[in-house]
Every structure is written in structure tokens, then in C-alpha cells.
Amino acid sequence: MNRHKKSRGVALITALLITALATIIVTNLAWDNVMDRQRATVLHRDQAIQVALGAESWVIDILRQDLQDNQTDHLGEIWASELPGLPIEGGEVFGVIEDLQARFNINNLVDNRGRVDQDSVDQFKHLLNALGLDPRFAGITADWIDSDTDPLFPDGAEDSIYTGLTPPYRTNNQSLTSVSELAAIEGMDRATFRLLEPHISALPGRTEINVNTATAPVLMSLDENMTAANVEALISEREGAGFSDPAASFSAIGLTIPPSKLGESSQYFRLKVVVRIGTVRITLYSLLLRGTNGVTPILRSLGTT
């Protein structure tokens, strides 16, 4: 009876021990799996960033070669076509280069001494009108970046407005480094910003608009008398190889635009490259400056969209 009890006890302990060992092994296996997955994710992320930087070098070569080939930039050129998705080990890469001088540079609203440039404020008003947005944002934006703290009349906004908000903050009073800073200006909401964002840029200093690549609303902003039909005609005329003589094309539709507003080439481009490896997906945005000394990345940011 006792012996029987004893052997039952041993069997029970053995069973418990086996269960315990099995649990430890399973836990270890699960832990190793988690570690493997994390290691793979870190590895894939590193690889994805390397691939993105490789794509950036490739794009730099394309832009450099383009400058050697010709002096103008238009949407029929190689850089302007979307880079098709390319398979890479365990994933894919694709990208797109955008001419940032196809947009209205918000920093044109001030001159190089930080004073408001009224011509550009008027042009920004035309752009806002073309987008069906409140033209008062032009004065409010100009105040946000001009160096003084005196509100423009009638649409300005300086510290007296922003310090009354909850939480209070002060006017930027200097040029923008990112258009997203405009989210802070008086009256700006997400819906307005979304509509405006594809047509504006925040480039260092003042830049020309490239009429060969400008978006339709930006073309519209060049003259307050421009009609939607004019814009349509201009866009179909520039298709393929850009305008052969922009001044002539604009005067043919009865608009005299100063030559300083009719840029035909670009120095600032933005590369967006998306890399997917395994479950990792990264987006690299790279602001590229193309000058006489070559093409230089001047601002990079990583995103997940």
C-alpha cells in the first residue's frame, strides 16, 4: 500500500517535472522567436535605409546628368517619370522625384531682409483663390514669416493674436524650413492645409517658379486675369517638352508676365522613396539642391507613409 503510494508519488513528480521542462522549452522557443523577429525587423530596417540611400544616389546621378544634357526642366524628362517598383531581396523599392519649383515658395513672401514682398503676397492670394481658399491666409502667412511684429493691414496676424490663444505662442518671424509650420497660423485647419500643401514649398531663400512644371493652381496664380481655360491651354502646350518660349506663350493668350516670373529650370527637387523588406516599410524624403557644384541632399526625413 505504502509502496504503491510511493510510486504514484514518483510518477506524479516525474509528470510535473516533464511539464515544467516542456514549459521552459516552449517559453525559450517563443522567446527565441520573438528575438528572431525583432532581429529580423532591425536588420530589415537597416537594409531598407541602405536601399533608400542607394536609390537617392541613383537619383542624384539622374539629376546631374539631366543638367549636363540641357538647361531647362520639364515634365517630359527622365527625372519626372515615376520610378517603377523594382524587386529587391525580400521586398521592393519605388520612388518619385518632384520639382519643388512647380510650387509656390512660401519664403518668397519676404525679401532677403525679412520684409514683406507685396507682389508675392498678391500672387499667394491668387493661388488661394484658385484653390477656393480664404485669400486672407496670404497676409497672415506673410506676418508669420516677416521679421517685424506689426500686423499687415487688413489681414495680418502677429503676437497679439497668438499670445491670446490657448496655449499661447509667438509668431515665427523668420522663413519656414517646412510647410507643415503653417499648421500653426491663425485660422489654418487640417482641411485647408491638405488642399494647399501640394502647391506650396518652403525653400531656402527666394526661388523662381518653373512654368514648365508648375501645378495648375500655381500657373493660375501668375496673373489675376488668368482663366481656367488659359491654364488648360498652357498645360497642353507645354506637354512633352515644355514651353519653347514661355513669354510668347503667355502673351499669345493676352497676358504679359514679367520674365522674372517665368522660370524654365529648377534647382530644388524632392525625392520620395519607399522601400519594403519583409514586414518593414520605410519612406525616405530627401530635399535635393542641384547647383553648379552638383546635386546635394540638404534635408532628409524618414516617414512611414
CB of 116 or CB of 287, closer to Ca ion: 116
Interaction between residue 186 and Ca ion (CB under 5 A): no
Which range, of 17-25, 56-64, 138-146, 204-212, touches Ca ion by CB under 5 A?
138-146
Residue bearing cell 530627401: 286
CB of 269 to Ca ion, least distance (A): 11
Of the pair 99, 223, the CB lying nearest Ca ion is at: 99
Rg value, the chain, Cα = 29
Which residues, 6 or more positions from 183, have their beta carbon under 8 angstroms from its beta carbon? 190, 193
* Shortest reach from residue 78's CB to Ca ion, in Å: 9
Among 146, 155, 186, 223, binds Ca ion (CB under 5 A): 146
Binding segment for Ca ion among 99-107, 126-134, 144-152, 189-197 (CB under 5 A)?
Answer: 144-152
| Residues of span 153-182 touching Ca ion by CB under 5 A | 171, 173
Q: How far is the CB of 201 from Ca ion (least distance, A)?
A: 18
The nearer residue to Ca ion, 104 or 162, going by C-beta atoms, is 162
Nearest to 261, CA basis, from 105, 97, 142? 105
CB of 82 to Ca ion, least distance (A): 17
Rounded Cα distance, 9 and 15, in Å: 10
Write the single-letter amino acid at 79: W
DSSP 94: E
Q: Rounded CA gap, 171 and 185, in Å? A: 8
- The pattern of x and - marking residues 53 through 92 that bind Ca ion according to CB under 5 A reads -------------x---x--x-------------------
Q: What is the grid cell recorded at 290? A: 542641384
**Residue facing Ca ion at closest CB distance:** 73
Inter-residue contact 230 to 68 (CB < 8 Å):
no
Residue with cell 496670404: 138
Name the grid cell of 14.
516525474
CA distance 132 to 216: 13
Q: How many residues bind Ca ion, per CB under 5 A?
A: 7
Q: What long-range pairs does 50-58 form, CB within 8 A, spacing at least 24?
A: 51/88, 51/93, 51/275, 51/277, 52/93, 52/273, 52/275, 52/282, 52/284, 53/284, 55/83, 55/93, 55/95, 55/271, 55/273, 55/275, 55/284, 56/271, 56/273, 56/284, 56/286, 56/297
> Of 63 and 274, which CB lies nearer to Ca ion in the complex structure?
63
CB nearer to Ca ion: give 212 or 249.
Answer: 212
Between 73 and 223, whose beta carbon lies closer to Ca ion?
A: 73
Nearer to Ca ion (CB atom), residue 66 or residue 186: 66
Q: Which CB atom, from 51 or from 109, has the smaller least distance to Ca ion?
A: 109
Pick from 99, 117, 143, 264 the residue near Ca ion by CB under 5 A: 143
- State the nearest-atom distance from the C-beta of 268 to Ca ion, in Å: 13
Give the binding site for Ca ion (CB under 5 A): 66, 70, 73, 143, 146, 171, 173
